[in-house]
Amino acid sequence: MSLTKKRLRMVAVASLTVLVLIYLYKVVLTSTEISPSRSSSSHLLSNGVVEEQHQWPPTEDVEQRNLRIAYEAQNAQLHQQRQELLHTKEQLAHLEEQVRALQAATPRKYPKVKYLNYKNRKRILITGGAGFVGSHLVDDLMIQGHEIIVVDNFFTGRKRNVEHWLGHENFELIHHDIVNPLFIEIDEIYHLASPASPPHYMYNPVKTIKTNTMGTINVLGLAKRVMAKVLIASTSEVYGDPTVHPQPETYWGHVNPIGPRACYDEGKRVSETLSYAYAKQEKVQVRVARIFNTYGPRMHMNDGRVVSNFILQALRNETITVYGNGKQTRSFQYVSDLVDGLIALMASNYTQPVNLGNPVEQTIGEFANIIKHLVGGQSEVKQIKAMEDDPQRRKPDITRAKKRLNWEPKVPLETGLLQTISYFRNELARSDRFQENSRKYFESPDLQRSRP
C-alpha cells in the first residue's frame, strides 16, 4: 500500500512539472510574438518625424515620442561638444606644459652682477622698492652683489619696475604693507615706503600719516631687533614754504600743520623725530636723507608732479599748465644722482640729516619752456590758479653732502630730461597700444554674439 502511494505522488509531481513547463513555454512564445509587433509599430517618415502605428500597450503619443527623440539628439550633440572641449583642454594643457618646460630649459638673462663673498655681501631690505626711486636703488645694489629684499604694497609702486630681477637668486619681492610688522633677518634697511607726489599722498591722508609713523616705527623696531643700520628717506617738504633760502639742514622749516600737504610734511617730520628717538634710546644706527625734487625713468605717469605733468602734456600736444605765475622755483636732480647719494650716506658714519638735491634753481615757467623745446610740438604754456600751500622757493644747501659724503649731482638737466622724455614717449605708445587692442577685443562681433 505504501509503494502505491509513493508512485501516485511521483506521478502527481511529474504531471505538475509538465504543466509548469507548458505554461512557461506559452509565455515565452507570446513575448516573442509581441516584440516584432512593437518594433514595427512605428516608422520614420521622410521628414524625420516618427509616426505611430499599432503599438500595444499604448505608452506615449506621437508628439511625446518626437520630443523624446529630439531631446536625445540634443543630448548626444552636447555630449559630443563636451568631448571636443575636453580634448581641446587636454591639448592646451599639453602645450602649456611644453612652454613651461621650454622656459625652464632656457636660462633667463639678468643684468651682470658682481660676486661678493659672504663677508662682504649684505642682506638689504628696501621698503617701497618697487617704486620710482626704490627700483633704481635696487638695480645699483643688486649689481654691487648684495642680496636685496623688496617690500611694497604696490599703491604707487609697480612690479614692472623690478621684473627684470624676478627669479634671481639674490632678489626677493614681498607684497606687504609696512604699516604691519615685518619679521626678517637683514643687515641694512632703506625705508622709502610712502607716496611722494601730492595727488597720491592727498588721496588718503590718514594712510599717508600711518605709513610715515607706524611704518617707520615697524622699520626702526626691526632694525633694533636685528641690529641693522637704517636709512630714513625724508623730504624737502619738512621745510614747508621756507623763509630761508637756500635751505640748510639746520633750518627748522615753515610748515602748515593742518594744510592739504600736512599729512606728508608732518608725517616725514615725525618720521625723523622717531628715528632720532630710537637712535638715542635704543642705540639704532640711523641715517636721514632729505630728498629734493627728483626725476627720471619709471616715474609714475599720473603722479601730478611738475616733470611728469609737463612732459606728458607736451607729448600729447596739450596745453602745458603752470600753477600760479610760474615764478616759484624748484631744483631738479636726476634719479641716478640721488641713488648715489643714498648709498654714500648709508656707507658713511654721519648721523645728522643730509640734503640730497640739485642746487641749480629753475623757475617753473622756465622749466615749462625747456620741456616744450626738448619735446617739440605745438603745445602752449598757460598759467592757471595756484595750488594751496605750494612752496614759492625750493633750493637745497648741499654743503654738508659735499663735505661729509663727497657727493654732488653730476647729470646735466638736459641730459636727464631727454632720458625721461624717451621713457614717457615709450610708455605712452605702450598705453595706446594696449588700449587699442582692448577696444578691438571688446568691440569684436564674435564677443558681442557670445554675450547673453
Contacts of 398 (CB under 8 A, 6+ apart): 355, 356, 357, 359, 407, 408
Between CA 234 and CA 403, with CA 270 as vertex, the angle to 5 degrees is: 40
Give the relative orientation of helices 132-143 and 335-347 as an angle to the nearest 10 degrees: 60
Instruction: Please report the DSSP string for 294-359 in residue order.
Output: EE-TT--TTS--HHHHHHHHHHTT--EEEETTS--EEE-EEHHHHHHHHHHHHHS---S-EEES--
Closest among 157, 133, 144 to 111, alpha carbons compared: 144
How far apart, in whole angstroms, are the C-alpha atoms of residue 240 and residue 26? 112
**According to the 3-state scheme, what is the secondary structure of 260-303?**
CCHHHHHHHHHHHHHHHHHHHHHCCCEEEEEECCEECCCCCCCC
Cell of 353: 640729516
Q: Examine the residue annotation and report whether 278 is marked as an active-site residue of this protein.
A: no
Beta-bridged to residue 48, according to DSSP, are none
Catalytic residue among 190, 201, 239, 264: 264
Q: Please say whether the beta carbons of 190 and 127 come within 8 A.
A: yes
Which DSSP string corresponds to 127-141? ETTTSHHHHHHHHHH
Q: Are 293 and 360 in contact (CB under 8 A)?
A: no
Grid coordinates standing for 226? 636685528
Quickly count: other Cβ atoms within 10 Å of residue 164's Cβ: 17
Q: What 8-state DSSP symbol labels residue 394?
A: -
Contacting residues for 5 by C-beta, under 8 A, at least 6 apart: none
Residues with Cβ < 8 Å from 298, sequence gap 6 or more?
132, 135, 136, 161, 335, 423
Residues in the chain, total: 452
Phi, psi of 139 (to 5 degrees): -55, -50
- Catalytic residue numbers read 264
